[in-house]
Amino acid sequence: MTTDIEKKENPPLTNTQKKFLRKLGHAISPVIYIGKEGLTESVVAAIDKALLDHELIKVKLINTDRISKHEAAEQVPEQTGCLLVQLIGKTLLIYRTSEEKKKDERIRLPAG
């Protein structure tokens, strides 16, 4: 399944950056749920939109037999151009910088 999403190659996150993003992500609730239909095009589009709006989001897998949490951890970043920050239980914490946001509204990652 491919989408029309323009994917930009993201540099890998350092451990310091992952720790910073995990700290920010601790307080947020999942905004996208992957249900019994699995990772459909509409779910991928919703994830893309949420990343444009928020940069850092949680995606939760619920009642799904079609995709395992490890498959989702591989396929979601692959299809949306985001980076997996953390997989804990059935919840993915993902990040992608948003070019649509003003520079002062974006998440500023610590250097290295």
Of the candidates 80, 32, 38, 79, the one whose C-alpha atom is nearest the C-alpha of residue 57 is 32
Q: Please check whether residue 42 lies inside any domain of the structure.
A: yes
Output the pLDDT for position 9. 64
Q: Please check whether residue 59 lies inside any domain of the structure.
A: yes
Output the pLDDT for position 4. 44
Q: Please check whether residue 56 lies inside any domain of the structure.
A: yes
Place of tokens 């994917």: 7
Domain that holds residue 90: 29-95
Compute the distance between CA of residue 25 and CA of residue 57 in angstroms, rounded to an integer.
7
Q: Please check whether residue 1 lies inside any domain of the structure.
A: no
Of the candidates 67, 57, 54, 47, the one whose C-alpha atom is nearest the C-alpha of residue 3 is 47
Torsion, Cα 6 11 16 19, to 10 degrees, reads 30
CATH code (residue 36): 3.30.110.60
Block means of pLDDT (10 residues each) for the chain, length 112 residues? 50 91 95 92 95 95 88 94 95 91 87 78
What SS3 class is residue 111? coil
Q: How many domains does the chain divide into?
A: 1
Q: Please check whether residue 112 lies inside any domain of the structure.
A: no
Output the pLDDT for position 8. 55
